[in-house]
Amino acid sequence: MKPDRRRFLAALSALSTLPAWPAWARPASDDASPPRLLLALEAAPDVDPAGWLVSEKYDGVRAFWDGRALRLRSGTPVAAPAWFTARLPATPLDGELWLGPGRFDALSAAVRRARPVDAEWRALRYMVFELPDAAGDFASRAARIASLLQATGNPQLVAVHQAALVDRAALQARLAQVVGTGGEGLMLHRADAPYSSGRSPLLLKLKPVQDEEATVVGHVAGRGRHEGRLGALRVRMADGAEFLIGTGFSDAQRESPPPLGALVSYRYRGRTAGGLPRFASFLRLRDL
């Protein structure tokens, strides 16, 4: 056997004895399965913040950096510019790509392009809130995130601020402040929690439930089990904008819906970039 061939086979044999990459560290081209991330449950409106660290809930695109590639929560690789990923540390990170309040649609378009546009990526930030699979409780991981990202000197890499709040009043005040500036709500993470994945009570999301009034301007026929009765109300807000309310009705209300011109109350969770209520649900018919 020739010397060059013997050296090649020896090197190949040595490679076969190396340990396999851990799941989170595989390149996206090797494993595009969904990464194991921690997912939140809904918080009770009267949740006590004692023992939790509280941060803003960003209206962004969840992104997982495995140390080599950036991926969406689905596992799909993100076509981020090479200059952007070159400035990320080798440590796995979990966070949100974010453009700012009310700019989700523009962000989503930028992140999902097959060919990234530099100007769009220079405007966004990577808001980091977790170190996947890292040791220690969340409080210590949050401190490590702040230290790690500060050391990179990268202004687009931001450690999400985590705060301990003293009581429910402080939590509600913080929620009102965030929502008042266009934010979605709050995240509560148990300060003493080790890292885990999947949907867990160790991580909660707290979003406001708001209610307003609108005028009924149309009835949309139902389909499926609602065929022959109300499917949704078309309503008009005070500013003239119209939208549909399709949930929250009793069977009796679907059989005999509020008439045209009636004033109804509805609940919703924040607004879209266009100013329409999100997740609107019928509450009641108002007395005229």
| 76-113 pLDDT per residue, tens | 899 999 999 999 999 999 999 999 988 888 998 999 89
Q: How confident is the model at residue 287 (pLDDT cuts 50, 70, 90)?
A: low
CA atoms within 13 A on the CB side of 159: 18
Is the residue at 11 inside a domain?
A: no
Q: How confident is the model at residue 48 (pLDDT cuts 50, 70, 90)?
A: very high
Rounded mean pLDDT, 221-246? 93
Rounded mean pLDDT, 175-199? 93
Domain limits at 239? 210-285
Q: Would you state the pLDDT for residue 16?
A: 32
pLDDT above 70 as % of the chain: 88
227 with 121, same domain? no
> b or e along 222-238 (b: 16 or more beta carbons within 10 Å of the residue's beta carbon)?
beeebeebbbbbbbeee
How far apart are the C-alpha atoms of 147 and 150, rounded to whole Å?
5
219 with 98, same domain? no
């913080």: which residue's tokens? Answer: 174
Show which of 182, 206, 230 is a domain's final residue. Answer: 206
pLDDT above 90 as % of the chain: 65
Q: Would you state the pLDDT for residue 102?
A: 83
117 with 217, same domain? no
Catalytic pick among 2, 57, 205, 207: 57
180 with 270, same domain? no
Q: Would you state the pLDDT for residue 9?
A: 40
253 with 191, same domain? no
Q: How confident is the model at residue 31 (pLDDT cuts 50, 70, 90)?
A: low
Is the residue at 16 inside a domain?
A: no
205 is an active site residue:
no
Number of domains making up the chain? 2
Q: Would you state the pLDDT for residue 205?
A: 92
- Give the contacts of 171 (CB within 8 A, at least 6 positions apart): 47, 49, 54, 165, 186, 206
Q: Would you state the pLDDT for residue 134?
A: 94
192 C-beta neighbours (distance < 10 Å), count: 13
Q: For residue 187, give the amino acid letter.
A: M
185 with 215, same domain? no
Is the residue at 70 inside a domain?
A: yes
Show which of 155, 186, 206 is a domain's final residue. Answer: 206
175 with 230, same domain? no
Look at residue 33 and give its three-state secondary structure. coil
CATH number for the domain that contains residue 151: 3.30.470.30
Q: For residue 23, is pLDDT > 90?
A: no
Show which of 206, 223, 240 is a domain's final residue. Answer: 206
116 with 182, same domain? yes
Q: Would you state the pLDDT for residue 279?
A: 87
Rounded mean pLDDT, 256-260? 93
Q: For residue 18, is pLDDT > 70?
A: no
Is the residue at 186 inside a domain?
A: yes
Nearest-CA neighbor of 24 among 75, 59, 61, 58?
A: 75
The mean predicted confidence, pLDDT, of the chain is 86
271 with 193, same domain? no
pTM of the model: 0.67
Q: Would you state the pLDDT for residue 2?
A: 47
pLDDT digits (tens, 9 = 90+) for 146-159: 999 999 999 999 99
Query: What is the helix (H) or strand (E) element at residue 6, kind and residue range?
Result: helix 3-16
CATH number for the domain that contains residue 224: 2.40.50.140
